[in-house]
Amino acid sequence: MELRLCDLKVKKMGVIKYIQENPVAAKLAEFGLLPGTKISILNKAPFEGPIFILVDNNRIALRKKEAAFIIIE
């Protein structure tokens, strides 16, 4: 079972293993979400809301749906 970014707990860290082919793949890459990048979860909004992450000293908010494409190791 692969670990998805959206399943990662708050304050946990991970490294992006790969990103599944998806409609917003180009957008994710643009924001620096690339394989090998260290990533940590800062916050999760309640009721399945967006996820707040730290990538390269850069804070990014994204929805759960998008975070599900990012596979973590």
Among 65, 71, 72, 73, binds another protein (CB under 8 A): 65
User: Per rule CB under 8 A, is residue 17 in the interface with another protein?
Assistant: no
Residue 1 or 36: the one with the smaller Cβ distance to another protein is 36
Which distant-in-sequence residues (6+ apart) come within 8 Å of 28 by Cβ? 19, 62, 66, 69, 70
Residue 1 or 26: the one with the smaller Cβ distance to another protein is 26
Distances in whole angstroms, Cα of residue 54 to Cα of each of 4, 51, 59: 16, 10, 5
Residue 3 or 60: the one with the smaller Cβ distance to another protein is 60
Tell me how far, at minimum, the Cβ of 41 lies from another protein, in Å: 12
Using CA of residue 72, residue 12, residue 38, residue 56, what is the dihedral sign?
Answer: positive
- Which residue's structure tokens are 């994204």? 62
Among 2, 15, 20, 29, binds another protein (CB under 8 A): 29
